[in-house]
Structure 1
């Protein structure tokens, strides 16, 4: 069910629980600012999630509240994960669903990295 990206952060969301080690994940990268792991229901041959370690519901929340180091660290982590997955040359897609109209399902900012095949049109026409 899509969530309202303007709601306060919920510490019981699945990504917060993954960050705390309460739920297992197949991690591919971690630093002071971000954690990346495989999606449990992949929609492409490569489907990774990158989440900031801070308590941010949406991109707007992150842009308004994160400091410059967090923002730079998160963006660099997304690029690093895509490079390490071998996706730069063939290409890949980044997707961040925000709020109800964007069909955001977990109230923690996250970026999907899709790759490994031709992905087709961005949105159905």
Structure 2
């Protein structure tokens, strides 16, 4: 889809710090993370909402989301994760994406107010390296 930001990231036309790649899915760091390490998981195929996700991608999508949630703990030292997706309403990019956000007790995240932060120069790649290393240690 030519006008879709996430399709452009998947295609490599727009830069993205990738954390996970399979034949069907790409996980990359959110450029405006709630907390550093906040990853977006998207299907390579342009799919707008969860109800549009083809059956053949449902299990691989959820399995990759599980692996990313585990990688937040293993790779970043988080105590857990927040996993969410919007369908149409509050969906800033009309391409299905799962937010996987590292969490620690007392981190200040409350309800659905998502404050955003920024990475310092070179910091995003360091977080991505840590997540990729943790993912490599988890079974596929």
| TM-score normalised by the chain length of structure 2 | 0.69
* Number of residue-to-residue matches in the alignment: 109
RMSD: 2.1
Superposed, which structure 2 residues align to 1:106-117 within 5 Å? Answer: 106-117=93-104
Give 1:24 shift: 1.0
Superposed, which structure 2 residues align to 1:45-60 within 5 Å? Answer: 45-60=36-51
What residue in structure 2 maps to residue 67 of structure 1?
55
Point out the structure with the larger helix share. 2
1:93 aligns with 2:85: no
Would the alpha carbon gap of residues 23 and 32 (structure 1) be closer, same or farther in structure 2, given more than 3 Å must change?
same
CA contact (8 A) 1:49 1:112 kept: yes
For structure 1, the 5+ residue unaligned runs are 1-9
Give 1:42 shift: 1.1
Q: Give me the whole-angstrom Cα distance separating, in 2, the residues matched to 1:11 and 1:121.
A: 36
Query: Of the candidates 9, 29, 42, which is equivalent to residue 18 of structure 1?
Result: 9
SS for the counterpart of 1:115 is strand
SS for the counterpart of 1:17 is helix
Bigger relative contact order, structure 1 or 2, given CA contacts below 8 A and separation 6+? 1
SS for the counterpart of 1:94 is strand
Q: Give me the whole-angstrom Cα distance separating, in 2, the residues matched to 1:94 and 1:52.
A: 16
SS for the counterpart of 2:12 is coil
For structure 2, the 5+ residue unaligned runs are 114-140
| TM-score normalised by the chain length of structure 1 | 0.76
